[in-house]
Structure 1
Amino acid sequence: MRKIRLSSRIIFASVTFVVLTFRAEAQEPGNYIKTALGVEIAVPASFSGIKKIRLEPVSAQVIHVTATAGTAFLPERSLMTVKQSGTAVKFTVKDGQGTVILYTDSLQVEVSSATGLLTYRDLQGKLLLAQSKSPLIALVPKVFSGEPSYQVSQLFDAQDNEAYYGLGQHQQGMMNYRGRRVDLVQYNTDIAVPFFVSNKGYGVLWDNYSITRAGDLRDYEPLGALKLFSKDNVEGWITASYADKKTPGDVLFSQPVSEISMNWLTDQHKFPDRIKPADAIVNYEGCVASGLPGLYQLQLKYAGYIKVWFDGKLVADYWRQAWNPGAAVLDLMLEKDRKVKVRIEWVPDGGESYLGLTCLPPLPESVKNTFGLSSESGRELNYYFIKGKTADEVVSGYRLVTGKAVLMPKWAMGFWQSRERYKTEEDILSTVKAFRDRKIPLDNIVLDWSYWKEPEWGSQEFDPARFPHPEQMIRELHQQHVNLMISVWPKFNKGFAVYDGLDQENFLYKRNIADGRRDWIGKGYQNTFYDAFNPAARTAFWNLMNRRLYSKGIDAWWMDATEPDMHSNLPVEIRKELMNPTYEGASTTYFNAFPLVNAKGVYEGQRKANPEKRVFILTRSAYAGLQRYAAAAWSGDIASRWEDMKTQISAGINFSLSGMPYWTMDIGGFSVEPRYEKASGADLEEWRELNTRWYQFGSFVPLFRVHGQFPYREIYNIAPETHPAYKSMLYYSRLRYRLMPYIYSLAGKSYHQDYTIMRGLMMDFPADLKAANLNDAYLFGPSLLISPVLGYKDRNRKVYLPEGQGWYDLYTGKYFKGGRELNAAAPYEKIPVFVKEGSIIPAGPEMQYTSEKPADPLTLFVYTGRDASFRLYEDEGTNYNYEKGAFSTIEFSYREDTHTLVCGKRLGSYNGMLNDRVFNIVFITPKSAKGIDFKRKADKTLRYSGLPMEAKMY
């Protein structure tokens, strides 16, 4: 029995750290049980709350860790993981000096016999990860909705220069989450995924479904945690001044403020009733200081226009519509007791007021070099440690545990046109005709919400007044080789037959109805969501979709509001009430997993109804394991602003590093500032340039998709054909289709080799710390370095070329050495794109849709200077025969020492495969600059019939 004397407590974010002094009676070694699948280790009674730890190798590189506060482990019950083969992994267990050590062929896991602390090393003894000795209660008993549970936490030590990536999709512009607090809670523009990748050769998948904090586990403090000084230098508050927007220089009244916390719909009473938010402009002025020096992280929540200055420097300039507030983190470095002047200018949006400002003080020394995970509710401590020499190996381990990223239909890699929204059949058909007439490539058109009769949200039925012939409309689209994706919400309005049927089966959450809330459509309708955790409810949901939509020929599903977002701007505690209880249990325990089980029902339903046609789902929220359900995610209802475009880069990279390869965004942004709605003059030109730059960026992400509120987002509605905006968007659309052999090969690799398409630079250049943490550039596949242009009228941008090799300008072929920063040219029509030395990029013919032509002739652009390789992947494109081996690959390899390109033997086959084809080869060298010109005469031409061939550069 361990004897412990508590000396003090420090409470962080309801997670209890305990600073201890104790003397302990040593635990006798050998207190473990080896099983067929792993080892169970008894832990002395201690502050952690853990009594037993279980280690089970899933593979030589993946260890499943569970810990319980009971005497026996609970039956395994996981939504995010897939059942393993059952084949035991080779391992041994040994007693060490006060430790129990489990060995696999790849790593060793040490468990302290005295404390239960875990340490992970490779077989050479190199440290990978160690549980922190900073005491933390791992399992704190809780009760939610009458169900016993635990608050579950772990704290790990951070190594020198360690960085953390992944954790889903967050929009604060951060790449590396070390020293940051990351809230894993589903929200319109935030996606929670409890999986992170470290640059030290491992990742951790946290098998928990409740709201979780990662990194810094402390609570944000109110603004009053800082010393506050008014505009007139009176200590104790800052000054809030209110004016009418029409006469902003005339202050109507002022008041002292020491807290800014209008975060939710329930906080609207905090805005002064002496002026309406829609009429107001508010200025907060004063100074802040602290006796504790260091980095303060200020969390800003906002709607409307917001600007923030520190000591006269503008550090924030944002806008967001009130129905979907945004969030940002502002870094403020404070010297001891030195005042920093703060000014905030806020123009609320419409009739609601959302503004919050809180702060996270500098990290205490005791937890400064740690990284934690803490979840509100869980049955046990449950996570997977995943070793990998590269980030790709770590992601592969994640997919071993959670499932393969199934291959999307090839057409999904083409261009999607969408808007909020096409209101009639004529809107849809005339848009597609305009694309085809103008020869703008198109593969998919999206029908957003409200195609149903206004009161019948959830009917999944076309309004016959606006869509009188849906089957015929879909046939006409298919005849033009265009697919139709349709919006399907998990929402049902009260008062029509579908609602009543689901209600009778007890498939609906009831609280939103009982609370009497109404939505914002027409007169407002009572509504709620179905319980996607219930297998029978999922079946009913799919059957409804199948009967009323899929049977008509619908090709793909847009699963909106899957957080679930039953009513916008409610505090998370009320959101949990609205989905309580779930079929699985308390909503607190399962809150984050709704998008996973919702996608599961649709994927499994369609595969059963039609085993041949690939499922494709686009969902606004996601969770670990989503990739196995043919689901991609997009970044939600972001704003049409330059700063929002920039935050998409780190959001997409970290989402991809969370193990899910298919991500997209609303090119152009969804929510539109009023100045753009009927833009003219300078506003119109900025709107066109913003969309052009975003479109250029969007052509190099896994899924190429335009969407947003009015103005209409078709390129011919953004600018006339003679305008550089139109010309540039058309150029990048055509380039995307030319690169389809490259792009679809990356998709194939994502399934067959667990690849990641949108790549943070830490994946390929982990030793280059400058590259690894860039939040404004990434690799698209193995070869293309993408650097979006992020400012209005910018005609150059700084581009860092990772060290250790050379780079070629995509458009000119000019060669540059790596490890340097360029002031790269960025004319209106183009963004900087560089090609990695030692690359082979296959390109096909010009196309209007992905299935129009086979990739013949195939142009191979060979960027010399280093050895290079690329595996061309091809299959039937729309079915699941690839799972049965129906695909082909051709390995292209270039050897620098012999200046020879080898086209390897074709492996595999599939229906419709080209047996004979032409390869046009273009060699690019540092001394022979050649841009990606598809009209250029080839240096060599090969006629290929499946057997190895080679072409020499000289």
Structure 2
Amino acid sequence: MKKLTIFLLSALCMVSMQLWAQRFVDVPLLSPVAGGPQLVRLQVVSDKIIRVEATPERAFPAKQSLIIVPQKPFSDYQVKQSATAVTVSTRSLRAVVDRSNGHVRFFSSGGRELLAGDGAGGMKFTPFTVPEREIGADSKLTEAQKHGWTWQATFASPADEAFYGLGQHQSEELNMKGRNEDLFQYNTKISVPFVLSNKGYGLLWDSYSYCRFGNPAEYLQLNGAFSLYDRDGKPGGLTGTYVGKNGEQLVRTEDSIYFENSETIVNLPRGFKLNGSHVTYEGFIEAPVDNLYRFILYYAGYVRVFIDGTEVVPERWRTAWNPNAYKFNYALKRGKRARLKIDWKPDGDVSYCGLRAAAPRPEAEQAKLSIWSEMSRDMDYYFIAGNSMDEVISGYRTLTGRAQVMPRWVMGFWQSRERYKTSGEIERTLAEFRQRHIPIDNIVQDWNYWRLDDWGSHAFEADRYPNPQAMLDSVHAMHGRFMISVWPKFYVTTNHYRQLDARGWMYHQAVRDSIYDWLGFMGSFYDAYDAGARKLFWKQMNEELYSKYRYGIDAWWMDASEPNVRDCTPMWYRKALCGPTALGSATEYFNAYSIVNADAIYNGQRSVNPGRRVFLLTRSGFAGEQRYSTASWSGDIGTRWEDMRAQMTAGMNFSMSGIPFWGMDQGGFCVENRYMAAQTAFDQTGEENADLQEWRELQARWNQFGCFIPLYRTHGQWPLREVWNIAPESHPAYKSIVWYHRLRYRLMPYLYSMAGAVHFSDYTMMRALVMDFTDDARVNNIKDQWMFGPSLMACPVGYYKARSREVYLPRQRGWFDFYTGKHYAGGQTITASAPYERIPVFVPEGSIIPIGPAMEWSDEKPAELINLYVYGGRDAEFTLYEDENTNYDYEKGQYSTIKFSYHSASQTLTISRRNGRFDGMLQQRRFNIVLIDAAHGRPLDLDKPQGRMVKYSGKAVKVKL
């Protein structure tokens, strides 16, 4: 039907009427107020998705979205108006616009309020002009591109609501209710403008700028949030004491602790050698009001924080070149001084430390759903309703694009390190896996395979890689896959830089400011927001890597895709370094670089080799990235137990941000000096000291954790991360890591079926417990357990020397110990055994887990025999998905599914007729059905479990167990 815009004029306000099949509903407000909207627009996208736009101007801007894909027209809705409101209704959803202030309220079809704009500040607009220092001297921005709106949307939120999503962050936070999160891209930090509620909805806002969730105000310096006193009670600042490694001492007053970036660390004592020093900041803070204060700590080196003698931040560490942020809360009373102590041990001559506090707010205000965007053309968000969190995420992917079926080998194990330096290292490492019969699919070439001064050439350095084609052929002959790192970065001396620059497609600020990277060379990043630049970027990759080596490159590692032109710069300078873009200012498009860069590779490869599935791993991410066959990982994280624990919440929230494939550097990337020293000592003496013992246990626990996330990949700086380099064969760390490698491959039918469900059913693999047990409030903030698919609850061990841990078993199901088959009632917390070699894993009643043959690579053999574990106690279903593993024939319908249904009362399993077909499909196969229930627990047997053997030729079969 032809698009039609409805203007509901005030002269018609008293007339009740219904309007049908309209694409847009524009609602002018009766008496617009300063700072509020003049015009609100509703667009019905589907039965459960409504778009809301609001503007303080008289008309909406013309714009195109980077994250929303074209939608089918939808006309099955009604519009009603009254003197005070305009209502748009579908069969499942009702949206009501208040004509006095523009607030929108959303209701289910049954009348339950799902979300409502709140208070006088429910919609706020402030004119925004891009600061000159963020634009750059060679800007071609028009005047219109320099201006936009800062907006804030605030919604009421009941006390029992919980919020998830927002991307991947590092403060060990899961439920974001009442919390603050700054949304920008950085190494270890991925920001996605999507929040998911346990109340049956999600919000996706179409903004690419720096945003904030929670408190819309910037964190304050300590002297802006509190009255400060030194350690002797003198007002004006804290006491800073700097003790050098040789005993030299300096004491001075600090009016704030904000040494967080390249601009502010100059305020540290000049000439003082930080590396090896011990710094303390101590004194008193006095709060202006009673409040639960929310702090953010920024640190490199070792740091602890104490308030009134309580250790509010136990020791944390991060390498000097890659600081981290951590948040904590503390209640303070008005006018009462609290003793503050920051204990800091820098581990580099350049290091960072900062502590700030959010402006105090009443808890009732803090608990609301609040979104702030620095710069947009207008306020633009999508309300997505759903009867489950899966249904809401499905709506998100309806808007932003369906995820691809990843190549089957992606579900296997990947070996990486920072970095393999020669083709010989690559080949020898893969050969060692094969000789030891340890399963592996993918080996990864990290950065600097090029000549040192030739970053951006994409060319292997001949001395170290004399015959790249032979290397690739060797990897493939060993049944491996090869992934290679490609940065969107170019040294000014490369031909590729000159090609891009000649067309105006390079960012110049870094070159203009003569910024040299850590290798001592100068370069910058290309402008991925320009379609022509994206095509040229791919052309260069294709000519130097892809077609040149007969498609021997199997996957792409798109590093530093934030983009990260330079580490540790202030926010304004990061924007200056990353623009201006072809679409507008870097301020407006700050967060979306990774998705346009992914577009370049995905569409580029499919244009050259349309039959092979694309796979991209990217350090950043954004809404919609899943449509480009893209996964993300959590960047250059530290190698400590708290860093491992932080990846649990990071992975769950990233998955609930709608992007299904996520991983991490198993074992951590940046390594403490003590672990490196321990490895060096072992290499010299063969003795395992205390630090090496801890290192090996940390690596074992991290690999156990990694078995139960979408991407199973180890990576990091020295010490080396191949299992035989972590520990000898006789060591429990070695044995445990290899056992979980083999388990991962036995689970391949389960894993690949989930990969199919991600595409065909918008499934999410790594599932916070709230996704499956939403009506059990006890799961809302469980940070260290999750469902990996429908049938495995992973419960990793995140503390050194722990040999047991508490596990909560959600009340909706009974549960089985995955290893022993022992049954437990749901709704209780148990102390689960966690020996060095194993982490607790539980299976809910009503589960079916297909376990395939032992394999050393993902397509070594077809799953002719599947041991089908059926966990009784209630009815169960599972659909086995299979296709050709690496091509796009599934898009043409060439795949098969077999549905298993278990009826608990009759103990009958039905194997459905096989649906679909594909080349190479097994015509005959066997299923060995193993029933486990409360009365018949049995231990896990991966090789020869006792069960009921069934021959299957594609026809339906019923089996009485």
Shorter chain as denominator, the TM-score bin is over 0.9
**How far does residue 778 in structure 1 lie from its aligned partner after superposition?**
0.8
- Correspondence for 2:386: 388
Moved more, 930-939 or 431-440: 930-939
Paired residue secondary structure (1:396): helix
TM-score w.r.t. structure 1 length? 0.95
C-alpha separation in 2, matches of 1:494 and 1:845: 51
Paired residue secondary structure (2:591): helix
- Correspondence for 1:596: 595
Moved more, 738-747 or 764-773: 764-773
1:615 aligns with 2:614: yes
Q: Quickly say closer, same or farther: Cα 1:525–1:129, change in 2 above 3 A.
A: same
C-alpha separation in 2, matches of 1:898 and 1:227: 71
Residues 21 and 78 in structure 2, CA contact (< 8 A), matched pair in contact too = no
C-alpha separation in 2, matches of 1:368 and 1:830: 41
Paired residue secondary structure (1:709): coil
- Correspondence for 2:22: 36
Paired residue secondary structure (2:886): coil
Moved more, 898-907 or 495-504: 495-504
- Correspondence for 1:3: none
**How far does residue 923 in structure 1 lie from its aligned partner after superposition?**
0.7
- How many equivalent pairs are there? 923
C-alpha separation in 2, matches of 1:171 and 1:365: 23
**How far does residue 892 in structure 1 lie from its aligned partner after superposition?**
0.6
**How far does residue 529 in structure 1 lie from its aligned partner after superposition?**
0.4
**How far does residue 239 in structure 1 lie from its aligned partner after superposition?**
2.0
Read off the aligned partner of 1:73 and give its amino acid letter: F
Residues 242 and 252 in structure 1, CA contact (< 8 A), matched pair in contact too = yes
C-alpha separation in 2, matches of 1:940 and 1:496: 64
- Correspondence for 2:826: 818
- Correspondence for 1:947: 955
Read off the aligned partner of 1:418 and give its amino acid letter: S
1:729 aligns with 2:716: no
**How far does residue 919 in structure 1 lie from its aligned partner after superposition?**
0.2
C-alpha separation in 1, matches of 2:13 and 2:585: 40
Residues 283 and 345 in structure 1, CA contact (< 8 A), matched pair in contact too = yes
Map 1:321-336 → 2, pairs under 5 A: 321-336=319-334
Read off the aligned partner of 1:710 and give its amino acid letter: W
Q: Quickly say closer, same or farther: Cα 1:678–1:502, change in 2 above 3 A.
A: same
C-alpha separation in 2, matches of 1:861 and 1:199: 31
C-alpha separation in 2, matches of 1:511 and 1:869: 57
Residues 103 and 123 in structure 2, CA contact (< 8 A), matched pair in contact too = no
Map 1:214-363 → 2, pairs under 5 A: 214-224=213-223, 225-247=225-247, 252-273=249-270, 275-314=272-311, 315-363=313-361
Paired residue secondary structure (1:590): coil
C-alpha separation in 2, matches of 1:833 and 1:817: 15
Read off the aligned partner of 1:230 and give its amino acid letter: D
Moved more, 226-235 or 864-873: 226-235
C-alpha separation in 1, matches of 2:15 and 2:566: 55
Percent identical: 46
Read off the aligned partner of 2:47 and give its amino acid letter: A
Q: Quickly say closer, same or farther: Cα 1:30–1:629, change in 2 above 3 A.
A: farther
**How far does residue 235 in structure 1 lie from its aligned partner after superposition?**
4.2
**How far does residue 500 in structure 1 lie from its aligned partner after superposition?**
1.4
Residues 31 and 42 in structure 1, CA contact (< 8 A), matched pair in contact too = no
TM-score w.r.t. structure 2 length? 0.94
1:537 aligns with 2:533: yes
Q: Quickly say closer, same or farther: Cα 1:137–1:946, change in 2 above 3 A.
A: closer
- Correspondence for 1:549: 545
**How far does residue 274 in structure 1 lie from its aligned partner after superposition?**
5.2
- Correspondence for 1:527: 523
Moved more, 813-822 or 934-943: 934-943
Residues 639 and 672 in structure 1, CA contact (< 8 A), matched pair in contact too = yes
Paired residue secondary structure (1:595): helix
Q: Quickly say closer, same or farther: Cα 1:463–1:799, change in 2 above 3 A.
A: same
**How far does residue 343 in structure 1 lie from its aligned partner after superposition?**
2.2
- Correspondence for 1:767: 775
Residues 194 and 203 in structure 2, CA contact (< 8 A), matched pair in contact too = yes
Residues 485 and 558 in structure 2, CA contact (< 8 A), matched pair in contact too = yes
Residues 186 and 562 in structure 2, CA contact (< 8 A), matched pair in contact too = yes
Paired residue secondary structure (1:297): strand
Q: Quickly say closer, same or farther: Cα 1:278–1:937, change in 2 above 3 A.
A: closer
1:841 to 833, 842, 849: 849
Read off the aligned partner of 2:187 and give its amino acid letter: N
- Correspondence for 1:776: 784
Q: Quickly say closer, same or farther: Cα 1:49–1:334, change in 2 above 3 A.
A: closer
1:933 aligns with 2:941: yes
Residues 215 and 358 in structure 2, CA contact (< 8 A), matched pair in contact too = no
Paired residue secondary structure (2:587): helix
Paired residue secondary structure (1:866): coil
1:512 to 510, 513, 516: 510
**How far does residue 160 in structure 1 lie from its aligned partner after superposition?**
2.5
1:909 aligns with 2:917: yes
C-alpha separation in 2, matches of 1:252 and 1:363: 39
C-alpha separation in 2, matches of 1:868 and 1:398: 27
**How far does residue 611 in structure 1 lie from its aligned partner after superposition?**
0.7
Give CA-to-partner distance per residue, 1:798-847, whole Å, 9 cap, x none: 11111122111111111111111111111000001111111000010000
1:129 aligns with 2:115: yes
Give CA-to-partner distance per residue, 1:720-756, whole Å, 9 cap, x none: 0000000000000000000010011111000000000
- Correspondence for 2:140: none
- Correspondence for 2:877: 869
Moved more, 815-824 or 649-658: 815-824
Map 1:282-681 → 2, pairs under 5 A: 282-314=279-311, 315-364=313-362, 367-521=365-519, 524-551=520-547, 552=549, 553-679=552-678, 680=682, 681=689
Give CA-to-partner distance per residue, 1:591-645, whole Å, 9 cap, x none: 1010000000100000111110000000000110100000000001000000000
Paired residue secondary structure (1:278): coil
C-alpha separation in 1, matches of 2:785 and 2:364: 35
**How far does residue 936 in structure 1 lie from its aligned partner after superposition?**
3.8
Residues 766 and 787 in structure 2, CA contact (< 8 A), matched pair in contact too = yes
**How far does residue 556 in structure 1 lie from its aligned partner after superposition?**
0.3
Map 1:844-855 → 2, pairs under 5 A: 844-855=852-863
C-alpha separation in 2, matches of 1:374 and 1:337: 31
Residues 185 and 592 in structure 1, CA contact (< 8 A), matched pair in contact too = yes
1:103 aligns with 2:106: no
C-alpha separation in 2, matches of 1:27 and 1:192: 44
Paired residue secondary structure (1:677): helix
C-alpha separation in 2, matches of 1:362 and 1:269: 29
- Correspondence for 2:74: 88
C-alpha separation in 1, matches of 2:923 and 2:834: 42
Paired residue secondary structure (1:397): helix
C-alpha separation in 1, matches of 2:610 and 2:486: 21
Read off the aligned partner of 1:226 and give its amino acid letter: F
Residues 22 and 75 in structure 2, CA contact (< 8 A), matched pair in contact too = no
Residues 533 and 597 in structure 1, CA contact (< 8 A), matched pair in contact too = yes
Superposed CA RMSD in Å reads 1.7
Paired residue secondary structure (1:684): helix
Paired residue secondary structure (1:798): strand
C-alpha separation in 1, matches of 2:749 and 2:88: 45
- Correspondence for 1:14: none
Paired residue secondary structure (1:741): helix
- Correspondence for 1:741: 749
Residues 271 and 353 in structure 1, CA contact (< 8 A), matched pair in contact too = no
C-alpha separation in 2, matches of 1:479 and 1:778: 37
C-alpha separation in 1, matches of 2:159 and 2:37: 29
Residues 156 and 370 in structure 1, CA contact (< 8 A), matched pair in contact too = yes
1:703 to 698, 711, 721: 711
Residues 452 and 459 in structure 1, CA contact (< 8 A), matched pair in contact too = yes
**How far does residue 928 in structure 1 lie from its aligned partner after superposition?**
1.9
Paired residue secondary structure (2:275): helix
Paired residue secondary structure (1:478): helix
Give CA-to-partner distance per residue, 1:108-150, whole Å, 9 cap, x none: 0001122211100011110000011232553322233532311
Read off the aligned partner of 2:828 and give its amino acid letter: R
